[in-house]
Chains A and B, each alone.
Chain A
Amino acid sequence: MAESTLTAEGSRRAQVPVGSRGRARGLSDRAVLLLFITPTLVLLLAINIFPLIWNIVLSFTNYRANQPGREIKWIGLRNYERLLGSEDIWGYLQVTAHFVCWSIFFQVLIGFSLAWLLNRQFRGHAFWTTVIVLPMMLSPAVVGTFWTYLFQPQSGIFNYIVNFFIDAGDFSMIGDVALAPWTIVIVDTWMWTPFVMLICLAGLRSIPEYIYEAAEVDGASPWRQFWTITVPMVLPFLMLAVLFRAIENFKMFDMVVELTSGGPGSTTELASINLKREAFESWKTGYSAAFATILFVTVFGAANIYVKFLNQVKKR
Chain B
Amino acid sequence: MAEIRLERATKTFGQVHAVRELDLTIADGEFFVLLGPTGAGKTTTLRLVAGLEKLDGGRVHLGGRDVSALAPAARDVAFVFQQYALYPHYTVFDNLAFPLRSPLRRRSPQEVTRRVEEVAKLLRIESKLKNKATKLSGGEMQRVGIGRALVREPNCFLMDEPLSSLDAKLREDLRVELKHIQRDLGATILYVTHDQIEALTMADRIGVLEEGRLLQVGTPRDVYTRPASVSVARRLGSPAINLLRMDAVPGIAAPSRARNIGIRPEDVQLNGRGIEAEVEQVEHLGAESVVVLRAGEERMHALVSGGTSVQPGTAVRAELSREAMLFFDEAGQRVDA
Q: Do A219 and B103 touch across chains, with their CB atoms under 8 A apart?
A: yes
Q: A217-B50, A217-B52, A220-B98 are contacts. A233–B79 as well, Cβ < 8 Å?
A: no
Q: In whole angstroms, how far apart are the Cα atoms of A118 and B86 in the complex?
A: 25
Q: Which of A201-221 contact B (CB under 8 A)?
A: 208, 210-211, 213-221
- Please indicate the chain A residues that have their CB under 8 angstroms from the CB of B85 in the complex: 208, 210-211, 213-214
Interface flag for A229 (CB, 8 Å): yes
Which of B73, B87, B88, B105 contacts A217, CB < 8 Å? B73
Q: In whole angstroms, how far apart are the Cα atoms of A233 and B88 in the complex?
A: 8
**Contact flags (1/0) for B96-115 with A, using CB distance below 8 Å?**
00110011110000000000
In this complex, how many residues of chain B approach chain A with their Cβ under 8 Å: the count is 26
- Please indicate the chain B residues that have their CB under 8 angstroms from the CB of A218 in the complex: 73, 98-99, 102, 148, 152
Q: Which of B46-80 contact A (CB under 8 A)?
A: 50-52, 71-73, 77-79
- Please indicate the chain B residues that have their CB under 8 angstroms from the CB of A211 in the complex: 85-88
Q: In whole angstroms, how far apart are the Cα atoms of A316 and B88 in the complex?
A: 8
Q: In whole angstroms, how far apart are the Cα atoms of A32 and B287 in the complex?
A: 56
The majority secondary structure among interface residues of chain A is: helix
Q: Please give the distance in Å from B4's CB to the nearest CB on chain A.
A: 15
Q: Do A316 and B78 touch across chains, with their CB atoms under 8 A apart?
A: no
- Please indicate the chain A residues that have their CB under 8 angstroms from the CB of B148 in the complex: 214, 218
Q: In whole angstroms, how far apart are the Cα atoms of A10 and B102 in the complex?
A: 73
User: Closest B-chain residue to A231, C-beta based?
Assistant: B89
Q: Do B50 and A316 touch across chains, with their CB atoms under 8 A apart?
A: no
Which of A210, A219, A221 contacts B81, CB < 8 Å? A210
Which of A213, A220, A316 contacts B52, CB < 8 Å? A213
Q: In whole angstroms, how far apart are the Cα atoms of A70 and B83 in the complex?
A: 72
Q: A228-B87, A229-B87, A316-B132 are contacts. A216–B73 as well, Cβ < 8 Å?
A: yes
Q: In whole angstroms, how far apart are the Cα atoms of A91 and B99 in the complex?
A: 53
* 28 interchain pairs, CB-CB under 8 A: A208-B85, A210-B85, A211-B88, A214-B79, A214-B81, A214-B85, A214-B87, A215-B98, A216-B71, A216-B72, A216-B73, A217-B51, A217-B79, A218-B98, A218-B99, A218-B148, A218-B152, A219-B99, A219-B103, A219-B104, A219-B105, A220-B98, A220-B102, A224-B102, A228-B90, A229-B87, A233-B88, A316-B132
